[in-house]
Amino acid sequence: MTTIRVEEIANYTGQEVTLRGWVYNRTDKGKLVFLLVRDGSGFVQCVAFKGDLPEALFEQIMRLPQESSVIITGPVREDKRAPGIPGGYEIGVRDLQIVQAAAEDYPMALKEHGPDFALDHRHLWIRMPSQWAILRVRATVIAAIREWFDTHGFINMDTPILTPAACEGTTTLFETEYFDEGKAYLTQSGQLYNEANIMAFGKVYCFGPTFRAEKSKTRRHLTEFWMVEPEIAFCDLDQLMEIEEQFVTHIVQRVLRDRGPELRSLGRDLSKLERIAPPFPRISYDEAAKKLQELYEAETDPEKKELLKFEWGIDFGSPHETALTNLYEQPLFVYGYPTQVKAFYMEPWPGRPEVCKSVDLLAPEGYGEIIGGSERMSSYDLLLQRIHEHGLPEEAFKWYLDLRKYGSVPHSGFGMGVERTVAWLCGIEHIREAIPYPRTIKRVYP
RNA sequence: UCCUCGCUAGCUCAAUCGGCAGAGCGGGCGGCUGUUAACCGCUAGGUUCGAGGUUCAAGUCCUCGGCGAGGAGCCA
C-alpha cells in the first residue's frame, strides 16, 4: 500500500492509497460522513459510506472529534465537488485507524477569531488553512532567496547574533549580560560584518533573525524578524538596483510556480504578482517629493491630507509610501534620500552632500518598504568624520574603519525583510501572520 | 511616548432613553447518502475585565486601574 501526501494526490487517481493525518472538519449526513483531512502537505476530503464499512467503525467515524489523528486507506477519486487544497480529489474510506481521538474541547472553531485569542493559540492556529498556506509561502520565499544567491556567486556568511554595539546607533537594542565583558546586544543587522566579508569573498549574504526593541505597534512591525542582507564588492547604486529587481522577480516567480494553490486559497489576485518583471520604475527622492506635493494638493479629505503633509528633508511615513506606490503596478525604487534621515555609512551623492546613495524598494498595493539598501562609504576620512558626527564610539568601529584602510573598494548592499515580503505576496493584512511565532511589543507567548 | 477604539457564554458578537442577560458558531443528544465554516430539532453553558462611585435600578453613566487592537513616530 502506498502512503501518499495530499499535494501529490493527482498522481494516484484510481489507486488504493494510505493517508496519515488529522481530521480538520467532519460533516456527517446520516449514512454518509465527510472528513476533511490535512496531512501537512494539503487538505483532502475523505468520504465514508455506512454500507461500505463495519457498523462499529462507521459509528466511530461519525463521532470522530475535530483534530483526531488518523490513518486512512482507500481509493483516490477525481471529483470536482471535493473541497481541499489543492482540491478536486477525494479518498473513499475503506479502512480508518484512529491514532488518537482528540479531546472534545479543541478551542479553534472553524471561523474568524480575534487577534488576541488567535495569537494565544498560535500553536493550534497554524493548523488552519490560511495560516498553513502563509507559512508554506514563507518557506518557499526563504528557499527562493537562498536559491538565487547561491546560484549568482554569493557566499553565505553567518554574522553574529550577539554583538558588542549598535550597527546604526539610532535604533533601540535588546540588551543582555555577557559574562565579564559587560553588555552584549541582539543584532539588528549583519551589514557591517558583511562589509568585512566581501573583502574576503567578493559577494556574500547573511540570513537570520534580527531584533529591534522599537516600540512600534503597527501591522508592519515585529520585534524579531528575519532579514536577508547581501553585500557586493565593486558595485555601485545602479548595479545594486539591477540586482534587487532580478532577485525580487525570482522570488515572485518561484512562489507563483510552487505555491499557486496556497495563494489561491488565500484569495490572492495572482495577476498582480504575475506582472512583476524588471525593470522596476526608479524615481529619485526629489521626484518623489514633487509627486507627494501634487498628491497633497489633490487630496480633498482633510484627514488624509494631513497625513500626506510633506516637506523636503523628512523621511517618508507610511501614508507617503502608500500614496507613492499606488501610482505604480511594479515595485518602486526610490533613491537618493537626504543624508540626514539615513545611516552614517552611506556614500554621499557626488556634488550633493545633502543627499546619499541610498535606495529603498517599496512593494505595490500599499505594502511599503521591503528593501533598504545603499552604496557604502569607501573613504576612511569621511567615515571617521561621520562616526564622530553621529556620536558613535570610535573604538568600537576600529575594525570597521580598517576595511577602508586595506583595499577599500566601492561596494553596496541591502536588507530585505522576509515577513514584509511574505505579507505582500500573500496579500495579508498583518505581518504577524507571516512568521510562525510572532514576537511583538506585547507578546512573547507561545 | 502620543492619538483613537474595544473588553458581555469556549469563540464571534447583540442588548433601543439606565429597566428580566441574547443569538450564531463550538459542546452534548437526535435526524438526514454529496456536504463545502452543511442543514433541521432539542439541550447545557454567564463574577458583563477589576476596584470604587451616582441611581429605586448599571453591561449601559462617572473616576481610577488592567488588558488588547488600529494608527503616528521609528523602521525591514
- From CA A372, how far away is CA A240, in angstroms rounded? 11
Question: CA-to-C1' distance for A114 and B15, Å?
Answer: 21
- With b for 16 or more beta-carbon neighbours within 10 A and e for fewer, the A92-105 pattern comes to bbeebebeeebeee
- From CA A40, how far away is CA A34, in angstroms rounded? 19
Q: What is the DSSP string of A90-112?
A: EEE-SEEEEEEPPPTT----SS-
**Is A302 a domain residue?**
no
Same domain assignment for residues A17 and A166: no
DSSP-derived 3-state class of residue A270: helix
**Is A341 a domain residue?**
yes
- Using the CB atom, is residue A359 less than 7 Å from strand B? no
Q: For residue A93, give the CATH number of its domain.
A: 2.40.50.140
Q: Which nucleotide is nearest to A360 (CA to C1')?
A: B76
Provide the grid cell at A161: 547574533
Helical packing angle, A318-325 and A285-298, nearest 10°:
90
Same domain assignment for residues A226 and A336: yes
- Using the CB atom, is residue A217 less than 7 Å from strand B? yes
A367-426 confidence digits (pLDDT tens): 999 999 999 999 999 999 999 988 888 888 999 999 999 999 999 999 999 999 999 999
Amino acid present at A176: T
Nearest residue by alpha-carbon distance to C1' of B31: A30
Residues 6+ apart with CB under 8 A from A112: none
Question: CA-to-C1' distance for A40 and B48, Å?
Answer: 40
Question: CA-to-C1' distance for A228 and B72, Å?
Answer: 28
**Is A116 a domain residue?**
no
ipTM over 0.85: yes
CB A359 within 8 A of CB A376: no
What integer pLDDT is reported at residue A364 of this predicted model?
93
- From CA A118, how far away is CA A443, in angstroms rounded? 12
A11-22 confidence digits (pLDDT tens): 999 999 999 999
Q: Which nucleotide is nearest to A215 (CA to C1')?
A: B74
CB A44 within 8 A of CB A36: yes
* Short-list A228, A252, A216, A250, CA closest to A441: A216
- From CA A420, how far away is CA A363, in angstroms rounded? 9
Question: CA-to-C1' distance for A311 and B59, Å?
Answer: 48
Question: CA-to-C1' distance for A107 and B2, Å?
Answer: 36
Question: What distance lies between CA A433 and its chain's CA centroid?
Answer: 9
Per residue of chain A (446 residues), what is the pLDDT tens digit?
799 999 999 999 999 999 999 999 999 898 999 999 999 999 999 999 999 999 999 999 999 999 999 999 999 999 999 999 999 999 999 999 999 999 888 888 888 888 889 999 999 999 999 999 999 999 999 999 999 999 999 999 999 999 886 555 545 788 888 998 888 889 989 999 999 999 999 999 999 999 988 888 889 999 999 999 999 999 999 999 999 999 999 999 999 999 999 999 999 999 999 999 999 999 999 999 999 999 988 888 777 788 888 889 999 998 999 999 999 999 999 999 999 999 999 999 999 999 999 999 999 998 999 999 999 999 999 999 999 988 888 888 999 999 999 999 999 999 999 999 999 999 998 999 999 999 998 888 88
Same domain assignment for residues A414 and A379: yes
DSSP-derived 3-state class of residue A318: helix
* Short-list A285, A367, A354, CA closest to A318: A367
Q: For residue A357, give the CATH number of its domain.
A: 3.30.930.10
Same domain assignment for residues A83 and A31: yes
- From CA A47, how far away is CA A40, in angstroms rounded? 19
- With b for 16 or more beta-carbon neighbours within 10 A and e for fewer, the A341-355 pattern comes to ebbbbbbbbeeeeeb
Last residue in a domain, options A69, A100, A131: A100
Same domain assignment for residues A401 and A252: yes
- Residue A426 to residues A265, A268, A404, A440, Cα–Cα distance (Å): 10, 6, 42, 20
Question: What distance lies between CA A22 and its chain's CA centroid?
Answer: 27
**Is A118 a domain residue?**
no
What integer pLDDT is reported at residue A170 of this predicted model?
46
**Is A108 a domain residue?**
no
C-alpha angle with apex A162: A158 to A168, nearest 5 degrees?
90
Q: Which nucleotide is nearest to A92 (CA to C1')?
A: B34
Residues 234-293 of chain A within 7 A of strand B, judged by CB, are none
DSSP-derived 3-state class of residue A217: coil
- From CA A55, how far away is CA A38, in angstroms rounded? 25
What integer pLDDT is reported at residue A137 of this predicted model?
97
What integer pLDDT is reported at residue A164 of this predicted model?
84
Question: CA-to-C1' distance for A79 and B30, Å?
Answer: 31
- Measured to protein CB atoms, the chain B nucleotides within 7 Å are 1-2, 10-13, 24-29, 31-38, 67-76
Question: CA-to-C1' distance for A434 and B51, Å?
Answer: 40
Last residue in a domain, options A100, A131, A149: A100
CB A426 within 8 A of CB A263: yes
Q: Match 505595490 to its residue by C-alpha cell.
A: A364
Q: Which nucleotide is nearest to A77 (CA to C1')?
A: B34
- Residue A105 to residues A62, A97, A347, Cα–Cα distance (Å): 17, 21, 59
Question: CA-to-C1' distance for A117 and B69, Å?
Answer: 12
**Rg (chain A; Cα; Å):** 26
DSSP-assigned beta bridge partners for residue A333: A282, A361
Number of domains in chain A: 2
DSSP one-letter code for A306? H
What integer pLDDT is reported at residue A169 of this predicted model?
52
- From CA A37, how far away is CA A19, in angstroms rounded? 9
Same domain assignment for residues A91 and A150: no
- Using the CB atom, is residue A59 less than 7 Å from strand B? no
Phi, psi of A168 (to 5 degrees): -120, 0
CB A162 within 8 A of CB A261: no
Residue A183 domain boundaries: 123-281+328-434
- Using the CB atom, is residue A172 less than 7 Å from strand B? no
Same domain assignment for residues A14 and A150: no
What integer pLDDT is reported at residue A213 of this predicted model?
87
- Using the CB atom, is residue A338 less than 7 Å from strand B? no
DSSP-assigned beta bridge partners for residue A365: none
Question: CA-to-C1' distance for A50 and B36, Å?
Answer: 20
**Is A113 a domain residue?**
no
What integer pLDDT is reported at residue A401 of this predicted model?
95
* Short-list A49, A21, A44, A20, CA closest to A33: A49
Same domain assignment for residues A86 and A131: no
What integer pLDDT is reported at residue A171 of this predicted model?
57
Question: CA-to-C1' distance for A27 and B35, Å?
Answer: 6
CB A259 within 8 A of CB A140: yes
Residues 6+ apart with CB under 8 A from A318: A218, A220, A368
Same domain assignment for residues A83 and A182: no
Question: CA-to-C1' distance for A261 and B2, Å?
Answer: 43
Same domain assignment for residues A86 and A127: no
DSSP-derived 3-state class of residue A409: coil
Same domain assignment for residues A55 and A7: yes
- Using the CB atom, is residue A214 less than 7 Å from strand B? yes
**Is A368 a domain residue?**
yes
Question: CA-to-C1' distance for A278 and B53, Å?
Answer: 66
Q: What is the torsion angle, in degrees rounded to the nearest 10, for the CA atoms of residue A233, residue A238, residue A239 and residue A242?
A: 140
Same domain assignment for residues A75 and A140: no
Residues 3-42 of chain A within 7 A of strand B, judged by CB, are 25, 27-32, 34
- Using the CB atom, is residue A314 less than 7 Å from strand B? yes
**Is A89 a domain residue?**
yes
